[in-house]
Structure 1
Amino acid sequence: MTISDTTVKPQSQSRGSLLLMLSRYGTFLAFLALIVFNIIVTPNFLSWQTLNVNLTQVATIVIVATGMTLVIATGGIDLSVGSLMAISGAVAPMIFMGTLFPINSPALAVALAFTIPILIAMGLGWFNGFLVTRFAIQPIVATLVLFIAGRGIAQVITNGNLQVFKNDIFQFIAMGRVAGIPTQVALMLVIAALAFCLIRFTVIGRQIIAVGGNEKAARLTGIPVRHVKTVVYVISGGLAGLAGLIVVARNSASDANLVGMGMELDAIAAVAVGGSLLTGGRANIIGTLLGALVIQLVRYTLLANGVPDAAALIVKAALIIIAVFIQQRADKS
């Protein structure tokens, strides 16, 4: 062994250790850095109003990104989530306002307005999984079908009209509070916790990771690969449907042209920044939550300090590139 060999090896090992540390804790460090920066620079950052605004803005992204994390963990992708939000958000008001069919009981109407749209979204998620598993269509192509057609379906359902409403019971999902916590934030935390437990402590959670890590090996060990893939698309669809309900309830209106627009990109960005491998085999739910918070805080920081919102899109793209670069280099080291 030469002197140059002994010199290069420790350097490469230290570089690999640094990249590994960044891949594991980089999102959390970025989150802390943003908080410290805003405490120093941004006025009233520590106010309850600021906390409330940021958490309510990020809640739907985390809910959708949680489902996206499970899909990506299997080696897939789901581009249809924004369109499924639009469908869910279009159907719900039509139910409790009696546009689809008359319902005499207001309580029953609201219950159905919560249930039916989510079931529809789950059914469309199953359709995505069916295309992926039965016809071996690449996930990006299979979900592109509903990405395009789904919003068209929502527009057809509503005839392209804006649905304006006021229903305190239905809107509790976005405007209410549970133990002082905004309902949508409480839902976000519960869903993230359930997904975390699913991945860490259940058989299907381990199967999801196995399928994404090596699908062929997973199939040879007896894992029902088709079933696992279908399940994650159904979950992703259901969570997108729930997010659609929250958005229209928060806005007191349903616009099929705008609900869920760009959500698929925000969800994928949260997953990437959060440290989950976009090639599958890893599902970091806590990372996804932190990734969504980092993206939201970047946007808030720029706006609060007079930077145009368009700049946040550039920063978001840079964050994705950096996150993916660190993941790739850490895996190679």
Structure 2
Amino acid sequence: MTFTSAPSSNVKEPSGGSAPSRPTLLANISGQNISLVGALVLVLALFGVLNDNYLSWSNMQVIAEAATITGLLAIVQTVVIICGGLDISVGSQVGVASVVSAMVFTSTGSNALVGMAAAVGVGLVIGVLNGLIILYGRVNPTIATLAGLAAYKGLAQLLSDGRAQGYVLNDDVFIFLGRGKIAGLPVMVWMLVVVAIGVHLLLKYTDIGRNLYAIGGNDTAARLAGIKINKYLICVYVLIGIVAAIAGILLTARTGSGQPVSGSEGLELKAITAAALGGAALKGGKGGIGGTLLAVALLGCLENGLTVEGINTFWQNVAQGALLVVAVIIQQRRNGERAIGLPN
């Protein structure tokens, strides 16, 4: 597949003369994301006072490892939001990939690489399918992936008969992914770092990244500028499918078996919340990986702190929903959007 990049002079102003936002990895910390840094410091200080072990190095590693899967999905969710789309089905995709990786591993005589390759292949197919439904079926991305949320969850349950499948912790590769460390950090965290840096570089330093911002900022102007929008969007949903498959493999490695629902349910809400909190405009054309990672860290620290303090886990869902609403309200206010039904 060949991408066609428009000349820079044609896509610098995709939305009424404003250039697409292409932040650095820790961009906007002095602006819109300063509140995230403050909130993160506040959460760390609060739970650090409440529990002496909260700020320990071992607990920080636990937080980072637990946030890895959410972080991977939030990164690719940021990319699809930047180009004006959305994928609500990522959690269910993780469940399918987790089940496939474990079941193929078991059926092939404990061949971890074959199981992982099968999971990635399934993720690629799901990504293509989502993209085709959205583009050529002319279905709104929210509706299409909402349908995928239910369909892929059902597929994972059908494949596994609704139960955890296989046992992978007798394999060195899965053990390394789920329990191994490099330079004192879990392997899972390093994988998140690699994906984050790769996607950041793609968005900031390549024509592909510039064109993704242009598509989200004004798809009509981007099309007139010669950008092959359909190809870009298909590739974005394929990227989501592949990264969701990697997250599913990590879920299998972490839990020791393929999980059709447990561990993957609710990941879509976390990913969207992190992307929105990190500054990704839900209308498209704006966002960055640095802000998303800050939001993932905030959500991870908050979730761990509530768990450590023995607070009912249902309150975590309440907090996530509230944070998403707050993020959208902040975006609307900054964009000068008029409140629905109210005068200016």
TM over 0.5: yes
Secondary structure, counterpart of 2:88 in structure 1: coil
Look up the match of 1:112: 114
**Which amino acid is 1:170 matched to?**
F
The 2-side partners of 1:81 and 1:198 are apart by: 21
| Matching residue within 160, 170, 174 for 1:170 | 174
Aligned length: 307
CA deviation string 1:278-326 (max 9, x = no partner)? 1111121111111111112122222333432222222222222222111
Q: Quick one: distance in 1 between partners of 2:196 and 2:336?
A: 30
In the aligned structure 2, how far is the partner of 1:204 from the partner of 1:178?
32
- Correspondent of 2:37 among 7, 19, 28: 28
Give, in whole Å, the separation in 1 of the partners of 2:76 and 2:316.
Answer: 24
Question: Any unmatched runs of 5+ in structure 2?
Answer: 1-28, 338-344
Residue 159 of structure 1 is matched in structure 2 by: 161
Q: 1:222 aligns with which of 223, 226, 251?
A: 226
More deviation, 217-226/26-35: 26-35
Aligned twin of 1:11: none
Is the 2:44–2:55 contact (alpha carbons within 8 Å) kept by the matching residues of 1? Answer: no
Distance 2:174 2:71 in 1: 21
Q: TM-score, normalised by structure 1?
A: 0.87
Q: Could you tell me which amino acid in structure 2 is paired with residue 125 of structure 1?
A: G
Structure 1: 5+ residue runs without aligned partners?
1-19
Partner in structure 1 of residue 196 of structure 2: 192
Number of the residue aligned with 2:264: 260
Q: Does 1:67 align with 2:67?
A: no
Instruction: Answer yes or no: is 1:48 the counterpart of 2:52.
Output: no
1:114–1:164 CA distance, 2 compared to 1 (3 A) = closer
Note the C-alpha offset of 1:201.
0.5
Contact in 2 for aligned 1:273/1:319 (Cα 8 Å): yes
**Aligned mates of 2:325, 2:32 — CA distance in 1:** 13
Amino acid at match of 1:218: A
- Aligned partners of 1:271 and 1:317: how far apart in 2? 13
Secondary structure of 1:64 counterpart: helix
Paired position in structure 2 for 1:89: 98
Q: For the pair shown, which has the larger CA radius of gyration, 1 or 2?
A: 1
- Percent identity, aligned pairs only, is 31
Task: State the Cα deviation string for residues 73-117 of structure 1 (Å, max 9, x = none).
Answer: 11111011111111111111122212xxx45xx5xx211112221
CA contact (8 A) 1:27 1:275 kept: no
Aligned to 2:331: 327
Q: CA deviation at 1:233?
A: 0.7
The answer to whether 1:213 aligns with 2:217 is: yes
Equivalent residue letter for 1:288: T
Structure 2 residue 171 is matched with structure 1 residue 135 = no
Q: Check conservation: 1:23, 1:326, Cα contact below 8 A.
A: no
Question: Offset at 1:118?
Answer: 1.0
2:295 corresponds to: 291
Moved more, 270-279 or 162-171: 162-171
Q: Which residue, out of 310, 314, 317, partners 1:310? A: 314
